[in-house]
Amino acid sequence: MNADYVIVGAGSAGCALAYRLSEAGRSVLIIEHGGSDAGPFIQMPGALSYPMNMARYDWGYRSQPEPHLGGRRLACPRGKVIGGSSSINGMVYVRGHAGDYDHWKDSGAAGWGYADVLPYFKRMETWDDGGHGGDAGWRGTDGPLHVTRGPRDNPLHAAFVTAGAQAGYQSTDDYNGAMQEGFGAMDMTVHKGRRWSAASAYLKPALKRDTCELLRGLACRVVIEQGRAVGVEIERGGRREVVYARREVILSASSINSPKLLMLSGIGPAAHLAEHGIEVIADRPGVGQNLQDHLELYVQMASSQPITLYRYWNLWGKALVGARWLLGKRGLGASNQFESAGFIRSRAGVAYPDIQYHFLPIAVRYDGKAAAEGHGFQAHVGPMRSASRGAVTLAGRDPSAAPEIRFNYMSQESDWDDFRTCIRLTREIFAQEAFRPFVKHEIQPGDAVRSDEELNGFIREHVESAYHPCGTCRMGAADDPGAVVDPETRVIGVEGLRVADSSIFPRITNGNLNAPSIMTGEKAADHILGRGMLPPANDVPWVHPGWQEMQR
């Protein structure tokens, strides 16, 4: 029950940490409350809507009633299984834009600029373009994480990218390469037809070493003695016990559970801890604050041709897809179906993309409910850099109780303007010549929804989380009173304790967060081992030469 390093959470960052620390010969004990990732619901990419809606694999968190969304409580799935959220997510792989990381650096996270993090993205990847082109010089060739592309057989995928070009936007061979801006193929964490989670990429190989062990249990608090973290109190089998760390404790428990654990351990806003009768060990007002997420809408179109995935949206169709996957890891079940993407700028004067598209050749919700119209397709669209900020706070002292999550979605006027822009720009793309053979009519918002007021009503009722919470243990300069960890991921004010997961992001990155979370674990491992960083990259990313005057 002791090791050099005790990691809480076998998620995207925690698995990468376990792999790199054990690879270096350090002993690692990783604590995970969830269980096995075996079985088709997690392993079959095409079944992605199931695990995030299953209590067995998901913590089941929901936001508090959101005041700007009519009091709706939005789902906030977090993986409760080995691999964490990388085992229940949509498998979309987006590094983020260079500008995101340069913003981190400029806001106090020294050593986390794009030149600093790009070598870690390369180290973690084995990139296979699947015969669809790409930016090979920017990609990794021998990392644990397999990244590939779907077959893009459905003609609607090509129509989406062509429509983007017809509307005047760039086309990009690789949004994870030199040029994020534009329309092109989407990357996914799938290998040989199976979900390639952080558990598959990092944890399972690490557990084959004598230096790494997985322990099932609920982390209750970090044990701190004389200002130093010495272990983690866990609950398993109905009793409490302490797992001791000879060197350091590392929290990689998610942007929801990492701040919760810090607060339960006496690290956080002093007044809030006092409310719950928790002894204050370090007054860090930033713990739980700075909560960010991406919201998105589904702009859905009815299809005039029966070529969408709706033909398989019945018992026999799903059985056929499942059988093909089970027998050979082939067919529709071997892809997440997010095979075309777009990143655009909302207006002139925006330096790099602030709108993301996921295109899907079926009109369906994340919970698996298909549109009543039948055959259709949709673009998931949303702004990337909302100014709204929320918080994670304690509901009580019980470690098994969910914390209170308030995203404060759409609390800034700019959010509404940005979402209306998203809808109007998406309608323009679907109106292009490339979609003429396929568009029957608009399902939602619907042709009648046009004015600002009508669009606002639709947004309020239908906007959904893209499930990208982050920022609640913000990384910054050691003398920044709002920062929780320093640029080496050390918790400010406590010895022997670090946080390494999406909670340390100063600001949310462009796109989906699994890739940046894994990169965080990779880079944190080098900080922890004290062996120096990978040399900074010299690659220069593409920026639209007319961005100051042109929207596209």
Residue 81 assigned ligand-binding role: yes
Q: What is the β-pairing status of strands 194-195 and 391-393?
A: unpaired
Residue that is written with structure tokens 């003429």 in the block: 436
Question: Which two structure tokens, joined as six digits, stand for 10?
Answer: 């076998």
The residues, any chain, with a CB within 8 Å of residue 449's CB and separated by 6 or more, are: 455, 457, 458
DSSP three-state, residue 456: helix
CB-facing half-sphere around the CA of 475: CA atoms within 13 A:
30
List the beta bridge partners of residue 507: none
DSSP three-state, residue 484: coil
Q: Is the dihedral of CA 430, 434, 436, 438 positive or negative?
A: negative
DSSP three-state, residue 419: helix
Please confirm, yes or no, whether 103 is among the known catalytic residues.
no
User: Contact at 8 Å (CB) between 67 and 412?
Assistant: no
Burial zone of 272 (CB within 10 Å; 0-12 exposed, 13-18 middle, 19+ buried): middle
List the beta bridge partners of residue 298: 380
List the beta bridge partners of residue 370: 364
Question: Which two structure tokens, joined as six digits, stand for 129?
Answer: 């373009």
Closest CA to 465 of 48, 54, 78: 78
Other Cβ atoms less than 10 A from the Cβ of 17: the count is 32
CA distance 38 to 466: 25
Residue 91 assigned ligand-binding role: yes
User: Contact at 8 Å (CB) between 207 and 200?
Assistant: no
User: Contact at 8 Å (CB) between 105 and 146?
Assistant: no
> Max alpha carbon distance in the chain (Å)?
70
Tell me, what amino acid is at 68? H
User: Contact at 8 Å (CB) between 328 and 442?
Assistant: no
**Active-site residue, selected from the candidate residues 146, 358, 468, 544:** 468
Phi first, then psi: what are they for 483, rounded to 5°? Answer: -80, 150
User: Contact at 8 Å (CB) between 377 and 156?
Assistant: yes
User: Contact at 8 Å (CB) between 132 and 174?
Assistant: no
- Virtual CA dihedral for 54, 59, 60, 62, nearest 10 degrees? -150
Strand locations in 171-313, DSSP E? 182-185, 187-188, 190-191, 194-195, 212-216, 218-225, 228-236, 239-251, 267-268, 282-283, 295-303
CA distance 253 to 259: 9
Tell me, what amino acid is at 234? I
Binding residues for FAD: 81, 89-92
Binding residues: 81, 89-92
Could you list the active site residues?
Answer: 468
